[in-house]
Structure 1
Amino acid sequence: MTNNNPIGVFDSGIGGTSIWNAIHELLPNEKTIYLADSKNAPYGQKSKEEIVALSKKNVDFLIENNCKLIVVACNTATTNAIQELRANYDIPFIGIEPAIKPAAHNSKTQVIGILATKGTLNSELFNKTAEMFHDTKIIEQVGYGLVQLIEDGNLNSPEMTQLLESYLQPMIDANIDYLVLGCSHYPYLIPQIQKILPEHIQIIDSGEAVARQTKNILREKVGFSDAEKSEPVFYVNSNPFVLKSILNNKYDVIQKEF
């Protein structure tokens, strides 16, 4: 089955490009449209109703651009809105949620840490998943301020280092051996996180798993592109500079209201 329509990917900002990277690497022939709702970032501090409304707005834009499949590259939007999206739209959705399962299964200390937004940690979907692993102690930490610093282009700032140290030290003290990154922005912090964590603590994010699931859905339901190569398209509704820089200035970014 051939389908040359694009894959749509949206996030509350630039962080979902970590998911987009994994998808583009696995499926280089697929056309992709990435939507960064940076004007409304971060979603993690918003109400469920606001998150659902923003997610629907993003989906409407991507459907207008003929997307065949939509990846919700935002933990907060997935955990708060994906059930509503699946109920209201006749298009496959792939969500992203914290990778608690592999961390809990592989933990030797039976203690894992999760760094996520308030919206993700407070969601019903997250709590249902966490309850499945009652033998594992889960140290939850809201990453207050991290997304905003990334969105503002302050990825390697002293403020970022200070925040990360304050969030991670209690987890280290609690003897975690896995750290789950529960926000698509956070993989960009891995180099800094690795400087703070002892070497034996492993970091898990969801990018590769989402890319594999995207490939599965294309195979089973939607169809692959037969194009030899396709240039991705990036949209943002605020200053495009930070999105361009996180993409190493390799792609054009279209600034557009949506």
Structure 2
Amino acid sequence: MIELLSSGFYTSIQDLGRFNYTDFGVPLSGAMDQNLARFANLLVGNSPEQAVIEMTFIGPKLKFTKAQTIAITAPKAKVFLNGKTAAINHQLSIQPNDILEVKSIQNRAYFAVNGHLISENKLGSQSQYYSITTTEKLKKGDEIRIRSNHKNFHKKHASVNYDSSFYDSQTLEVYTLPEYENLSRNEKEILSTKAFTISEQSNRMAYQFEDILKNQLEGINSVPVMPGVVQLTPEGKLMVLMRDAQVTGGYPRIFQLSENSINLLSQKPLKSQINFEILKLK
């Protein structure tokens, strides 16, 4: 069992999402950075789609009641095991009564344990979301039980083999969506050349940008939308829908981010800058 001695800034259980219910207005949800969520599971011998703990900005303090093999994946994070620095993107061996503390995350980190986190499952997913599950995030005093993983698992000190420079990129790969064609030539040029600053008003539902783009587009009838859609609001602000976003929208749709770019954006610090690179469909 794992006990939360403190909960951190925003800590929740997430898997890869809640599928097949968007027709009923249910968001997909799931881990913001699904690459690192999968990697965390693979490090500890789990299937990549299993639930993990997602931590944002400042992580929780956890106490363990039994020996475990765990991993924490992140672009950057400070992790302490019994007060001593511990590695990220690497297996960690936990003993009974060990205390793990996660601090100073950029932006999100993922915790996986060899086995299965036991938590509320709604509509085929353990992803916490405020109107679907009983609670939207974990809190101090919560206890999480773990069901053993009985498959053969070799405890080696493996680390995730991935290109960390991926998270240094400022470029989001996008495909154009229907209303992009209605923009002026000047607006299109701005979108392809300007650096946009991520607003502090960004969260699991949407990432917003501080910059204002002249918007002469008319609103559209409400249409299905999905994570990665870039909308242009009447005020001229760009808004990227993220994992907990609504499933329909009436703002003009400019771009669709690639899946890798959704993962990348979820790890960009607030107030940092990004630019868009338009890809052509093959």
Question: Normalising to structure 2: TM-score of the pair?
Answer: 0.29
Structure possessing the higher radius of gyration over alpha carbons: 2
Name the structure where strand makes up a greater proportion of residues.
Answer: 2
Name the structure where helix makes up a greater proportion of residues.
Answer: 1
Higher relative contact order (CA 8 A, sep 6+): 1
